[in-house]
C-alpha cells in the first residue's frame, strides 16, 4: 500500500448517486492511480453481505466500466450504520479500522438526503470519526443541496464549523468537475487575445442556458423534492452561478485554491440584487404542462408523481442579471434553465459588441443617413459578427464566429466559425466529473469545491430573486413540454440585444 492510499467511505453507498456515479468514478480512479484507493466502504442502514453489495454494483455498471470495477471489487466492502443513531456510529470506527487502509487517510462521502447532513456530521464528530492523526487525514464530501436558502445554508455552515475545519469540508458541485467548465479558467487566463476584450467595453451581453429534456423521471421522491425546490434553487443557485463566477471573475494571481475561490466569491457578492419593482421585466418563471418531447407524449409537471396538483413551483426560469463591478458595468447576464425543453444542452454564449462604424451589410434601399438613423433608433438590428460559444454539454467545445466576405462583387459579410471540439481534438471523451472531483478530494485539493462563503453569496442573490418574485407577484406561466418555454422570456433581451440561442 502506498503512503498516499486512502479509504473511501460512502454514506448512502446503496443509493442512486453511489451506484450510478461514485462507484464508476472510483473504479476509474483505481485504474488511473493504482494504489490510491485502499478500500471503498458503502454504508446504509440495511445489513448486506459484501458479496451482495459488490454484485449489486456490478449489475448496475455499464459494460465498459465493469472491467475496471473487477480490479477494485475485492477492496469494496459494505458495513451497516445509521447516521442518525449515534450507537451505530460508535462501532463504525473499529469496523473501518479493520478494513484495508483503515489507518490512513479517509474520505467520507455524504451521499445522503439533505436533512441527514447535520446528524451525519455531528454523529461522525461525536464518534471520533473525523479526528485527524498525523497522515491519517479525515475529509468529508457534502452533496448538494447545501441549504435551501441563505439562513439554512448559514446554519449548516455554522454547524459544520463546529465539528470540522474548513479544510476538511468538500462541498461538491459536479459541474465544476466537467472538463469544459475547468477550461473556462484555462481559456480565459492562458490566452492573451481574449482577456483584453473580456469586459463591458467589448462584450455586450452574456447568455447561458441549461436546457433539459427530462421531467421528474422515475427517481424515488424526485417529484416531491423538486416540487419543494424548483428550478431556481435546484439549478441556478449552484451550477449556473458557478458558471457565472468563472466567466466573470477577475484573473487570480495564482492557481492557489483560496485565491481562485476568493475571486469567484467576489463575483457572486457583486451580483446585483434585483429590484422588486423591476422583477416583472427581469425574470420569468414557468412550469411545463403536458406536451411532446422526442416524439413522446409526456405529462405536465402537476401530474408528475410526488408533485402537488396545485403546485406553483417553477420548472423554468429565465433571468436578466447584472454584476456590479468595474469590469462588467451594466452588461446583462441572461440565465435560462428549463425542464422538458426540446433539447438537452448547456452553453454560454458571449456576444461581443458590433463595430463602432457599420460599413457592411446595410440594406440596399437605405442611404447613409437613413441607415445610421435606423441603427440608432433600434429599428434595424445589426448582426453581431463576433460571438463566442462555450459548449459545456453534451458536445463539449468552443466556437468563435466572425464575419467574412462572401464571394462575389458585393461587399457582403457572412458569418464563419472556428470550431474546437473536445472529442475531435483529443480523440477521447472528457473524464466524468465525479472522477475528477473525487480524485481532487483524495489529493486534498479543494479548488473545485465550494467554500462556505461562496454558497452563502449565491443564496443571498437567489433569496433576493425569490423575494422579488413574491413581492411583485410574478406569475408562474405555463409552457407545453417540448417547447422552448414562455415567449415572455424573449422580452429579457432588450432592443437589438438578440435572442436566446437554442444550442
Ligand atoms: N442521484 C443523483 O444523481 C444525485 C445527483 C446530485 C446530488 N444528489 C444528492 O445525493 C444525495 C443522495 O441521493 P441519492 O439519489 O443517491 O438518494 P437515494 O437513492 O435515496 O439513496 C439514499 C441512500 O442513503 C442511505 N440512507 C438513508 N438513510 C440513512 C441513514 N439514516 N443512515 C445511513 N444511510 C442512510 C440509503 O440506504 P438505506 O436505505 O439502506 O439506509 C441509500 O443508500 C442527495 O442529497 C441528493 O440530493 C444525487
Place of cell 413540454: 481
Instruction: Compute the C-alpha angle 106/179/489, nearest 5°.
Output: 115
Atom 22 of ligand 1, nearest CA residue: 15
| pLDDT class of 343 with cuts at 50, 70, 90 | very high
Other C-beta atoms within 10 Å of 23: how many? 28
Residue 211, pLDDT above cutoff 80: yes
Cα-flanking dihedrals φ and ψ of residue 290, to 5°? -55, 145
pLDDT of the residue at 333: 98
pTM of the model as a whole = 0.94
If you measure from the C-alpha of residue 119 to the centroid of ligand 1, how many angstroms do you get, rounded to a whole number? 14
d(Cα 355, Cα 374) in Å, to the nearest integer?
Answer: 16
pLDDT of the residue at 220: 66
Residue 426, pLDDT above cutoff 70: yes
If you measure from the C-alpha of residue 400 to the centroid of ligand 1, how many angstroms do you get, rounded to a whole number? 41
Q: What average pLDDT does this structure show over 18-41? A: 95
Element (H, E) at 433: helix 433-443
Residue 3, pLDDT above cutoff 60: no
If you measure from the C-alpha of residue 15 to the centroid of ligand 1, how many angstroms do you get, rounded to a whole number? 5
| pLDDT class of 377 with cuts at 50, 70, 90 | confident
Is 44's C-beta closer than 6 angstroms to any atom of ligand 1?
A: yes
Cell numbers of 142, please? 457534502
Element (H, E) at 6: strand 6-11
pLDDT of the residue at 218: 63
Helices (H), 61-176: 63-72, 86-90, 92-97, 117-126, 150-163
Is 16's C-beta closer than 6 angstroms to any atom of ligand 1?
A: yes
Residue-averaged pLDDT of the chain: 94
Do residues 54 and 73 lie in contact, with contact meaning Cβ atoms separated by under 8 Å? yes
Do residues 183 and 388 lie in contact, with contact meaning Cβ atoms separated by under 8 Å? no
d(Cα 84, Cα 11) in Å, to the nearest integer?
Answer: 12
Is 72's C-beta closer than 6 angstroms to any atom of ligand 1?
A: no
Contacts of residues 218-221 at CB distance under 8 Å and 24 or more positions apart, as own/partner, are 219/16, 220/16, 221/306
Strands 291-293 and 387-393, sheet pairing: unpaired
Q: Report the share of the chain in percent with pLDDT over 70.
A: 99
Closest-lying ligand 1 atom to the alpha carbon of residue 110: 11
If you measure from the C-alpha of residue 11 to the centroid of ligand 1, how many angstroms do you get, rounded to a whole number? 8
Cell numbers of 262, please? 476568493
pLDDT of the residue at 429: 83
pLDDT (tens digit per residue) in 116-154: 999 999 999 999 999 998 889 999 999 999 999 999 999
Atom 18 of ligand 1, nearest CA residue: 15
Residue 1, pLDDT above cutoff 60: no
Cell numbers of 110, please? 455524504
CA dihedral for 97, 99, 104, 109, sign (positive or negative): negative
Q: Active-site residue among 174, 201, 202, 239?
A: 239
Residue 325, pLDDT above cutoff 70: yes
pLDDT of the residue at 162: 97
If you measure from the C-alpha of residue 141 to the centroid of ligand 1, how many angstroms do you get, rounded to a whole number? 13
Is 143's C-beta closer than 6 angstroms to any atom of ligand 1?
A: yes
Residue 2, pLDDT above cutoff 70: no
Is 224's C-beta closer than 6 angstroms to any atom of ligand 1?
A: no
Cell numbers of 209, please? 442556458
Is 83's C-beta closer than 6 angstroms to any atom of ligand 1?
A: yes
Q: Among 10, 17, 145, which is best to mutate for testing ligand 1, by the most ligand atoms less than 8 A from CB?
A: 17
CA dihedral for 237, 433, 450, 187, sign (positive or negative): negative
Residue 71, pLDDT above cutoff 60: yes
pLDDT (tens digit per residue) in 253-296: 999 999 999 999 999 999 998 887 777 788 999 999 999 999 99
If you measure from the C-alpha of residue 238 to the centroid of ligand 1, how many angstroms do you get, rounded to a whole number? 19
Residue 27, pLDDT above cutoff 70: yes
d(Cα 140, Cα 171) in Å, to the nearest integer?
Answer: 8
Please report, for residues 231, 476, 479, 488, the alpha-carbon distance to residue 313 in angstroms, rounded to integers and kept in the order given.
Answer: 8, 8, 13, 18
The secondary structure of residue 136, as a DSSP letter, is B
Who wins on pLDDT, 38 or 281?
38
CA dihedral for 24, 26, 29, 33, sign (positive or negative): negative
Partnered with residue 142 across adjacent β-strands are: 110, 171
Cell numbers of 410, please? 458585393
Closest-lying ligand 1 atom to the alpha carbon of residue 84: 31
Q: What average pLDDT does this structure show over 59-76? A: 90
Of 131, 156, 133, 134, give the one whose Cα is nearest residue 143: 156
239 is catalytic: yes
Is 289's C-beta closer than 6 angstroms to any atom of ligand 1?
A: no
Is 12's C-beta closer than 6 angstroms to any atom of ligand 1?
A: yes
Is 84's C-beta closer than 6 angstroms to any atom of ligand 1?
A: yes
Torsion of CA 190, 192, 196, 202, to 10 degrees: -90
- 49 alpha-carbon distance from chain centroid: 35
| pLDDT class of 227 with cuts at 50, 70, 90 | very high
If you measure from the C-alpha of residue 414 to the centroid of ligand 1, how many angstroms do you get, rounded to a whole number? 52
Q: What average pLDDT does this structure show over 20-45? A: 95
Cell numbers of 435, please? 472522477
**What are the percentages of helix, strand and coil residues in the chain, rounded to 5?**
40, 20, 35
Alpha-carbon Rg for the chain, nearest whole angstrom, is 25
- 248 alpha-carbon distance from chain centroid: 16
Count Cβ atoms within 10 A of the Cβ of residue 318 and give its class: 0-12 exposed, 13-18 middle, 19 or more buried.
buried
Partnered with residue 31 across adjacent β-strands are: none
Closest-lying ligand 1 atom to the alpha carbon of residue 120: 32
pLDDT of the residue at 373: 87
Is 46's C-beta closer than 6 angstroms to any atom of ligand 1?
A: yes
Q: What average pLDDT does this structure show over 359-369? A: 86
Q: Among 53, 112, 152, which is best to mutate for testing ligand 1, by the most ligand atoms less than 8 A from CB?
A: 112
pLDDT of the residue at 372: 85
Residue 208, pLDDT above cutoff 70: yes
Please report, for residues 43, 358, 380, 402, the alpha-carbon distance to residue 413 in angstroms, rounded to integers and kept in the order given.
Answer: 62, 11, 16, 9
Residue 219, pLDDT above cutoff 70: no
Please report, for residues 154, 297, 464, the alpha-carbon distance to residue 316 in angstroms, rounded to integers and kept in the order given.
Answer: 27, 19, 18
Is 234's C-beta closer than 6 angstroms to any atom of ligand 1?
A: no
pLDDT of the residue at 445: 96
Other C-beta atoms within 10 Å of 132: how many? 14
If you measure from the C-alpha of residue 224 to the centroid of ligand 1, how many angstroms do you get, rounded to a whole number? 15
For 180, the 3-state DSSP assignment is helix
d(Cα 69, Cα 52) in Å, to the nearest integer?
Answer: 15
Amino acid at each position: 500500500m502506498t503512503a498516499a492510499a486512502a479509504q473511501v467511505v460512502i454514506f448512502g453507498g446503496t443509493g442512486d448517486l453511489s451506484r450510478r456515479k461514485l462507484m464508476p468514478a472510483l473504479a476509474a480512479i483505481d485504474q488511473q492511480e493504482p494504489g490510491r484507493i485502499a478500500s471503498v466502504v458503502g454504508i446504509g442502514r440495511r445489513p448486506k453481505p459484501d458479496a451482495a453489495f459488490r454484485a449489486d454494483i456490478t449489475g448496475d455498471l455499464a459494460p465498459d466500466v465493469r472491467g475496471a470495477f473487477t480490479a477494485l471489487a475485492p477492496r469494496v466492502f459494505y458495513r451497516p450504520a445509521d447516521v442518525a443513531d449515534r450507537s451505530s456510529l460508535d462501532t463504525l470506527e473499529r469496523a473501518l479500522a479493520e478494513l484495508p487502509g483503515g489507518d490512513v487517510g479517509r474520505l467520507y462521502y455524504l451521499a445522503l438526503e439533505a436533512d441527514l447532513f447535520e446528524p451525519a456530521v455531528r454523529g461522525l464528530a461525536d464518534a471520533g470519526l473525523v479526528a485527524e492523526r498525523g497522515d491519517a487525514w479525515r475529509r468529508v464530501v457534502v452533496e448538494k443541496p447545501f441549504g435551501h436558502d441563505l439562513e439554512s445554508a448559514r446554519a449548516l455552515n455554522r454547524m459544520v464549523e463546529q465539528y470540522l475545519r474548513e479544510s476538511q469540508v468538500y462541498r461538491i458541485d459536479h459541474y465544476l468537475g466537467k472538463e469544459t467548465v475547468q477550461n473556462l479558467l484555462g481559456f480565459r487566463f492562458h490566452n492573451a487575445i481574449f482577456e483584453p476584450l473580456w469586459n463591458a467595453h467589448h462584450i455586450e451581453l452574456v447568455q447561458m442556458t441549461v436546457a433539459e429534456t427530462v421531467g421528474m423521471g422515475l427517481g424515488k421522491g424526485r417529484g416531491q423534492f423538486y416540487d419543494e425546490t424548483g428550478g431556481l434553487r435546484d439549478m441556478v443557485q449552484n451550477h449556473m452561478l458557478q458558471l457565472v463566477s468563472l466567466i466573470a471573475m477577475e484573473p487570480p494571481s495564482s492557481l492557489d485554491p483560496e485565491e481562485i475561490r476568493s475571486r469567484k466569491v467576489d463575483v457572486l457578492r457583486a451580483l446585483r440584487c434585483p429590484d422588486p419593482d423591476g422583477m416583472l421585466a427581469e425574470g420569468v418563471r414557468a412550469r411545463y404542462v403536458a406536451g411532446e418531447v422526442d416524439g413522446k407524449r409526456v405529462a405536465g409537471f402537476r401530474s408528475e408523481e410526488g408533485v402537488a396538483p396545485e403546485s406553483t413551483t417553477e420548472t423554468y426560469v429565465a433571468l436578466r442579471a447584472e454584476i456590479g463591478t468595474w469590469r462588467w458595468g451594466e452588461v446583462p447576464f441572461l440565465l435560462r434553465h428549463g425542464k422538458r425543453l426540446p433539447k438537452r444542452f448547456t452553453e454560454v454564449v458571449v456576444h461581443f459588441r458590433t463595430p463602432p462604424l457599420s460599413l457592411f451589410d446595410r440594406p440596399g434601399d437605405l442611404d447613409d443617413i437613413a441607415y445610421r438613423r435606423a441603427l440608432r433608433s433600434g429599428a434595424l438590428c445589426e448582426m453581431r459578427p463576433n460571438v463566442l460559444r462555450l459548449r459545456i454539454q453534451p458536445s463539449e467545445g468552443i466556437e468563435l464566429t466572425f464575419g467574412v466576405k462572401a464571394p462575389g462583387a458585393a461587399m457582403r459579410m457572412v458569418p464563419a466559425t472556428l470550431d474546437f471540439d473536445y472529442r475531435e481534438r483529443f480523440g477521447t471523451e472528457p473524464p466524468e466529473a465525479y472522477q475528477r472531483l473525487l480524485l481532487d478530494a483524495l489529493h486534498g485539493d479543494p479548488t473545485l469545491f465550494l467554500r462556505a462563503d461562496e454558497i452563502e453569496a449565491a443564496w443571498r442573490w437567489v433569496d433576493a430573486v425569490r423575494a422579488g418574485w413574491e413581492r411583485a407577484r410574478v406569475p408562474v406561466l405555463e409552457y407545453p413540454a417540448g417547447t422552448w418555454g414562455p415567449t415572455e422570456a424573449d422580452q429579457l433581451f432588450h432592443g437589438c440585444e438578440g435572442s436566446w440561442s437554442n444550442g
